[in-house]
Chain A
Amino acid sequence: MAATAAPRSPATIAPAPPTLAVPLPLAGLLARAVVAGLVAAAVLVPPLLAGSVWQQRIALAAIYAVIGLSVNVLTGHAGQISLGHQAFVGIGAFTSAYLSFRLAAGFPVAVLVAAATGAALAGVLGLAALRIRGLYLALVTLAFGLTAETTLFNWRAFTGGGAGAEAPRPALVGTDLRYSYLCLAVLGLVLLLDWRLVRTKAGRAFVVLRGDERVAATLGVNVTGYKLLAFVLSGLLAGLAGALFAHWSQVVQALDFDFQIALVWVVMAVVGGLRSRAGVVLASAFFALLPTVLPELLTASPVQPPFLNEAVYHVLPPFVAVVLLLLTLILVPGGVGQLLLPVRRWLAGGRLRTGRSAPQAGDGG
């Protein structure tokens, strides 16, 4: 859980802050250990205390966080936009459902093949998208997502058409409690992978590639290769999240993967703060819960404004998403990650406040 507790600054890949050279006093070390422990507890304990409904919600939040990190690989690390992520998540969901229900494959096999399928599909899009960027890339990914949605996801033999495809859970993770822990564990692994990515060769190649492709190439970075890697890796995580989603909902339909949802996934990565793991996870969890929790809260509130009713509450979430996106872009371009920066610095052994302003995080992808 260390990765959740102490995410690294979005914009730097510094080995360690220089402040670490001075050993912390015991009290400081203890305080930080307590905070890290509390964060771990805040993630791990709630499923135990919650009922089935919230166990399901926690699982969905973890699945969304994996999707957020998948978008983050492509948009945050490699600087490529994708408005067609529902294609990769969807193909993962339907593949896992098909394998486990129709072909009676084991759960781990179904999930892994689903992840590989997501990677392969993203690789195909990546190959097509290698030579374009910016607005045109956005358009191509958008068209790709819409095409997948209307063709692949409506292929009756594969997806069950309108009735949807069944995706049973194996007994080992059959309960909502166990399934929520499975999703949290997968999220932990994905966080670890992202942490490794940023600290090694591939992450550094992405940093320079994002800045200037010509400079990257003269430093020996195979620009097309690394762009393709970003697509494949992003598709892998998206396919994985799709498989988890399929067995979470236990029935998947083409409607689950429409264009709007792909927009929400991009928004949550940006609001979370591109390249900030903790920020992306928090924002993804928020957007996972928003459509169910917001109407619930408003309906339950004692004061009901005359012009609002339950029907309106259910169309509020997209509105909230857009407002949050605007607020982020205008006020905190680094997203939640930027707001978390002082905490992160403190956990890493620095001071909570420093004279220097926070490094710039998101460049908007």
Chain B
Amino acid sequence: MTGLLEVRALSLRFGGLQVLDAVDLDLPEGMVVGLIGPNGAGKTSLFNCLTGSYRPQQGTVRFRGRDISGLPTHRRAALGIARTWQNLGVVGGLTVADNVLLARHQHAGYHALAGLLGLPGTGRRERELRRDTEEVLDYLDLRQYAAEPVDGLPYGIQKRCDLAMALATDPELLLLDEPSSGMGPEEAHQLGATLAELTGQLRLTVLMIEHHVPLVVAICDYVYVLNVGQLLAQGEPAKIQQHPDVVAAYLGEPDGAA
């Protein structure tokens, strides 16, 4: 199994605050990996370092063996790194279909100026992009909401739209930031089925931040535990659940030092 993503000694500071401290992480291709840890552990910051939104002071990020630490975010997206957002990356006021269409940006197949001038071929590509969009919508059962403004829809549907946008970029690595937050157990269960299907059919590699333990246990092959910027533990989900350090970090030290 080849490593899709390799993170080595990643450290991020904001002023005097050590957000990430020498984090190592490996994502073998095709695996679904969980990233858990208490609030403020640095999980979302790690995502931001992987996508290039944050520039860590130290450490490297390798994607398919290539050092991408210096690449800007949009170049990493072009390599196939996509993410969803804890508080949604959808554009309010636009319909679900238009949001997904936005996300096909890098597959437009024509230069922005060519589109502006209406050069031959751009019209055909636009029709194809709309077909791609419908395909993604069908895949995530969003067809019935296609023409609805996204901000008027239930939170769960908005989250699915956010996921659809990430998928529309044709990623190889999908970073999911709390995909089940705001969902009931029923919805979370369904999400788990969808994600399992996605990774199975599209052969995606997934790294997901998730608090909902049953979901992590159900679909993750491997779990990393982050606590105050450091890796606390890693391993298979069932073993991680029993890990004394993890239990302590989540539930407080036995001696009462929360």
- Is B truly associated with A? yes
A interface with B by C-beta (< 8 Å): 11-15, 18, 193, 196-197, 199-202, 204-205, 207-208, 211-212, 214-215, 217-223, 226, 229, 233, 359-360
* Stretch of B16-24, B87-95, B231-239 that contacts chain A: B87-95
Residues 108-136 of B, flagged 1 when their CB comes within 8 A of A and 0 if not, give: 10101101111000100010001000000
Report if A200-B73 is in contact (Cβ < 8 Å); known contacts: A12-B93, A219-B169. Answer: no
CB distance from B131 to the nearest CB of A (A): 11
CB distance from B69 to the nearest CB of A (A): 16
Partner of B116, one of A13, A15, A202, A221: A202
Known A193-B116, A196-B115, A218-B83; further 14 A-B contacts with Cβ < 8 A: A11-B93, A14-B97, A18-B147, A196-B118, A199-B126, A200-B108, A201-B108, A207-B94, A208-B102, A211-B92, A215-B85, A217-B53, A359-B149, A360-B93
Interface centre among B73, B85, B92, B126 (most CB of A within 10 A): B73
Contacts of A360 in B (CB 8 A): 93
Q: Is A205 touching B53 in the complex (CB atoms < 8 A)? A: no
Contacts of B97 in A (CB 8 A): 14
B103: Cβ under 8 A from any A Cβ? yes
Q: How far is the CA of A18 from the CA of B148 in the complex (A)?
A: 11
Contacts of B130 in A (CB 8 A): 15
Q: Is A223 touching B93 in the complex (CB atoms < 8 A)? A: no
Q: Is A200 touching B52 in the complex (CB atoms < 8 A)? A: no
Contacts of A219 in B (CB 8 A): 77, 82, 89, 102-103, 105-106, 165, 169
CB within 8 Å of A: which B138-194 residues: 147, 149, 165, 169
Contacts of B95 in A (CB 8 A): 12, 14
| Nearest chain A residue, comparing its CB with the CB of B91 | A211
Interface centre among A15, A193, A218 (most CB of B within 10 A): A218
CB distance from B158 to the nearest CB of A (A): 14
Q: Is A201 touching B112 in the complex (CB atoms < 8 A)? A: yes
Interface centre among A193, A217, A359 (most CB of B within 10 A): A217
Q: Is A220 touching B112 in the complex (CB atoms < 8 A)? A: no
Contacts of B73 in A (CB 8 A): 214, 217-218, 223
A-B contact pairs, 11 of them (CB 8 A): A11-B93, A14-B95, A200-B110, A202-B116, A205-B105, A207-B91, A215-B91, A217-B72, A217-B77, A219-B105, A233-B116
B204: Cβ under 8 A from any A Cβ? no
Contacts of A196 in B (CB 8 A): 115-118
Q: How far is the CA of A218 from the CA of B102 in the complex (A)?
A: 12
Contacts of B91 in A (CB 8 A): 207-208, 211-212, 215
CB distance from B8 to the nearest CB of A (A): 22
Q: Is A13 touching B98 in the complex (CB atoms < 8 A)? A: yes
**What count of chain B residues pass the 8 Å CB interface test?**
40
Contacts of A18 in B (CB 8 A): 147
CB distance from A188 to the nearest CB of B (A): 14
Q: Is B94 touching A220 in the complex (CB atoms < 8 A)? A: no
Q: How far is the CA of A229 from the CA of B115 in the complex (A)?
A: 13
CB distance from B164 to the nearest CB of A (A): 12
B10: Cβ under 8 A from any A Cβ? no
CB distance from B90 to the nearest CB of A (A): 8
Q: How far is the CA of A218 from the CA of B177 in the complex (A)?
A: 13
Partner of B105, one of A199, A211, A221, A229: A221
Contacts of A226 in B (CB 8 A): 112
Contacts of A233 in B (CB 8 A): 116
CB distance from A10 to the nearest CB of B (A): 10
B203: Cβ under 8 A from any A Cβ? no
CB within 8 Å of A: which B38-92 residues: 51-53, 72-74, 77-78, 81-83, 85, 89, 91-92
Contacts of A197 in B (CB 8 A): 115-116
Q: How far is the CA of A359 from the CA of B92 in the complex (A)?
A: 10
Partner of A202, one of B72, B98, B112, B165: B112
B33: Cβ under 8 A from any A Cβ? no
Partner of A218, one of B51, B101, B108, B110: B51
Partner of B74, one of A13, A14, A217: A217
CB distance from B80 to the nearest CB of A (A): 10
CB distance from B154 to the nearest CB of A (A): 17
Interface centre among B81, B89, B105, B147 (most CB of A within 10 A): B105
Q: How far is the CA of A220 from the CA of B89 in the complex (A)?
A: 13
CB distance from A185 to the nearest CB of B (A): 17
Contacts of A15 in B (CB 8 A): 130
Q: Is A12 touching B77 in the complex (CB atoms < 8 A)? A: no
Report if A13-B94 is in contact (Cβ < 8 Å); known contacts: A217-B72, A218-B73, A221-B74. Answer: yes
Q: Is B98 touching A12 in the complex (CB atoms < 8 A)? A: yes
Q: How far is the CA of A196 from the CA of B113 in the complex (A)?
A: 10
Partner of B112, one of A11, A208, A229, A359: A229
| Nearest chain B residue, comparing its CB with the CB of A204 | B102
Q: How far is the CA of A220 from the CA of B81 in the complex (A)?
A: 9
Q: How far is the CA of A14 from the CA of B81 in the complex (A)?
A: 27
Interface centre among B82, B115, B122, B147 (most CB of A within 10 A): B115
Q: Is B78 touching A14 in the complex (CB atoms < 8 A)? A: no
Q: Is A215 touching B89 in the complex (CB atoms < 8 A)? A: yes
Q: How far is the CA of A87 from the CA of B105 in the complex (A)?
A: 33
Sorted nearest first, the 10 A-B pairs with minimum C-beta distance are A200-B115, A220-B106, A217-B73, A220-B77, A202-B112, A215-B89, A201-B108, A211-B91, A11-B93, A201-B115
Report if A218-B77 is in contact (Cβ < 8 Å); known contacts: A11-B93, A15-B130, A199-B126. Answer: yes
Q: How far is the CA of A9 from the CA of B101 in the complex (A)?
A: 17
Q: Is B74 touching A220 in the complex (CB atoms < 8 A)? A: yes
Q: Is B78 touching A220 in the complex (CB atoms < 8 A)? A: yes
